[in-house]
Amino acid sequence: MERSRPPVEGKLRRKSRLSTAGFIATAMFGFCVARSDATPRATNQVGQPETHLMHPAVIEYPEALDLQGSSSGDMEVYKARLVERLGSGSFMVAVGSNLPDPKAKAEEKEEVMERTQSVENSISESINEGGGNPFEPVYSFAFIPAFIYEVSTQEQIDRLLASKADYMQFVDMPAEPLGLNSFQQGVIGLPQAYAMGARGVGWNIGSIDTGIDYKQPAFTRDGKEGGRITESVCAIGPARCPNGRYLDDQTPHAASFVWLGFDNGRHGTATASVATNMSEANIIPVMIYSVSDVAVGLDYFLHQRYPTAAVSISLKWGSASYNGSCANQSPLFRTLFQRLVNFGIAIVPAAGNDGETERLYEPACINIGDPTGDGIINAGATGFINTTDRGIIERVAGYSTRGPRGFVNLLFPADGIFAAVAHGSGYERKAGTSLAAPGIGAQVANERSSNNQLTPAEIERILNEGGDHIPDVYVIGSDRRVVYATARRVNIARSVARQIQGTQYNSNNTICLPFVSNQGGSPAASKVQKRQGVTPTNKKTRRRVAKQQKKLERQVGFIKRKVRKGEVMIFAAA
């Protein structure tokens, strides 16, 4: 059941958003870099791709305010900043309360909605108890007690600050886009995982980004344009979505709706194509523009209209970076993430392209527990360099944010991968952790399809345990040394094998599960690994397994030869 949302009085103004269109466009192409060459590229000494551009944060945004625990002085300072912000036009803020039932599961959806409604009613009454014109939100959440308001007067600010909500959070900053091939598929062991049944079939991968070109061949299934898209969602507000409401999940191809001043789905098309190339799961693209839109998009997935394994967020926002958790600074997203994970949906944010070793931006710094196993899987990127004595070496990309220990959970070979180009049928070589996030999200769907009882936290642990150690620093010279990253690069073949081993495999027989691993001399050097196997039940099954195994060995042998020669296989869309 989807909650009805209050109508908006008048037409939403977006002066403050449109004024940042140039800022967004500049950041867009700096975070997702096109490559024209066809071989892995070396980086400079500090690990930055030669054409990688960065757009520094130039605007300082207010952090969230604890409405019940802040001093009167702090509240006056916060109010002054918001009043000053009114000089640039109306803006969006979220007000809400902590979860009344933080451990509730998806099976309790109806009860969760009732409890949420009760808390929201209390907040709404406190905002309007002084009389005067009703101050209605532009969006009310269904499963967390929170609203999004468009503020246009100081009187409205006063009402919100005096409400019974626990927090107030500014959410009108832009959500900046961060900016595959059979080669990468072989590196992470995807063919072998497919052979074991981990293909993502029956699941969806959510992609919160800038929209999508549904006509791109990357999203075609069985000859149907957009056949890989289960549902297309617009969440850019009543003034922009085709149905005139904040969220449109009814208009066909709503996430492909094009409006001036944005990137016309270029970034979102690229990231979503990585997900479809790395899994047979379908996708649900959600078109967003600002941080408030991201929150509305996440709320859509809580309704669980379609089984969703993971939601990737290839964005960052805010002007502050953190050397640890920023969950308390972002209560709206903390509660959304907690609810999504409890409902069985993993969150996969991009770690960022700042190359930071100790700090993170939102949303990658948001956690709901131990960051190494809370179901929020921050995705970093690896790439490849060509060395004279050891061939192609996989290492952590120089621009990929490392962050505080434990916060960047998994790595994906996203430096120099092919991704779909919007408004055409071609592909470009690109780089960025924004492409790693959907790649990891696809592996969550693959793992989930092999065992649909796994929780997001369990999948995060399985993918970590099955991952490969990857060099973080590779110094060429007489003092050569290799330092391995704390996060592992995903190896879906090994992860699925370990998971199956514990539930369906026995110790009587073995089969070979070959996979291509790190080429840089890590403890998980490339070789054919032996794993415990399923006992074939009859002669026909044994012949089929043997035939399948020989085919996989030929595939891996071909990939190894390409790696030794320094060649990269050209990607063809599935």
- DSSP string across 479-508: T--EEE-SSEEP-HHHHHHHHHHTTT--SS
pLDDT more than 90, % of the chain? 58
User: For residue 74, how far is the Cα from the chain centroid?
Assistant: 34
What is d(CA 213, CA 272) in angstroms, rounded to the nearest whole number?
10
The answer to whether residue 521 is domain-embedded is no
pLDDT more than 70, % of the chain? 74
Residues 6+ apart with CB under 8 A from 94: 146, 147, 148, 149, 167, 168, 169, 171, 292, 295, 332
Q: Are residues 287 and 308 in the same domain?
A: yes
Q: How many domains does the chain have?
A: 2
Q: Are residues 186 and 256 in the same domain?
A: yes
pLDDT at 14: 34
Residues 184-202 have a mean pLDDT of 91
Structure tokens at 250: 């009814």
- Which residue from 316, 319, 312 is spatially nearest to 346, judged by alpha carbons? 312
pLDDT at 351: 95
Q: Pick the last residue of a domain from 170, 191, 215.
A: 170
What is d(CA 344, CA 341) in angstroms, rounded to the nearest whole number?
5
pLDDT at 106: 92
Residue tagged active-site, from 321, 325, 400, 434: 434
pLDDT at 178: 65
Report whether 208 contacts 434 (CB < 8 A): no
Per-residue pLDDT at 199 exceeds 60: yes
Residues 550-566 have a mean pLDDT of 56
Q: Are residues 222 and 164 in the same domain?
A: no
Helix (H) or strand (E) holding 539: helix 539-565
Q: Are residues 348 and 391 in the same domain?
A: yes
Instruction: Please tell me whether the peptide bond between 363 and the residue prior to it is cis, using omega within 30 degrees of 0.
Output: yes
Instruction: Among 56-70, 165-179, 193-207, 297-311, name the one with the lowest average pLDDT.
Output: 56-70
Per-residue pLDDT at 292 exceeds 80: yes
Q: Are residues 114 and 230 in the same domain?
A: no
pLDDT at 463: 96
Q: Are residues 342 and 381 in the same domain?
A: yes
pLDDT at 130: 79
The answer to whether residue 515 is domain-embedded is no
Residues 141-166 have a mean pLDDT of 96
| Domain containing residue 121 | 62-170
Q: Are residues 305 and 449 in the same domain?
A: yes
Q: What is the mean pLDDT of the chain?
A: 79
Q: Pick the last residue of a domain from 153, 170, 187.
A: 170
pLDDT at 183: 76
Q: Are residues 218 and 366 in the same domain?
A: yes
Q: What is the CATH number of the domain that holds 233?
A: 3.40.50.200
The answer to whether residue 556 is domain-embedded is no
Per-residue pLDDT at 534 exceeds 60: no
Report whether 181 contacts 149 (CB < 8 A): no
pLDDT at 62: 78
Q: Is 209 a catalytic residue?
A: yes
pTM of the model: 0.76
The answer to whether residue 345 is domain-embedded is yes
Q: Pick the last residue of a domain from 170, 193, 216.
A: 170
Q: Are residues 126 and 257 in the same domain?
A: no
The answer to whether residue 250 is domain-embedded is yes
CA quadruple 37, 40, 43, 48: dihedral positive or negative? positive
Report whether 185 contacts 261 (CB < 8 A): no
Per-residue pLDDT at 533 exceeds 60: no
* Separation of first and last alpha carbons in the chain: 35
Residue tagged active-site, from 97, 267, 273, 299: 267
Per-residue pLDDT at 56 exceeds 80: no
Q: Are residues 271 and 413 in the same domain?
A: yes
pLDDT at 389: 75
Q: Which residue do the tokens 């992860």 mark?
A: 495
Q: Is 267 a catalytic residue?
A: yes
Structure tokens at 188: 């992470």
Give DSSP secondary structure letters for 552-563: HHHHHHHHHHHH
Q: Are residues 352 and 240 in the same domain?
A: yes
Q: Are residues 263 and 182 in the same domain?
A: yes
CA-to-CA dists, residue 322 to 233, 486, 504, angstroms: 31, 19, 43
Residue tagged active-site, from 166, 172, 209, 415: 209
What's the angle, vertex CA 167, arms to CA 175 and CA 293, rounded to 5?
25
| pLDDT tens digits, 436-460 | 999 999 999 999 999 999 999 999 9
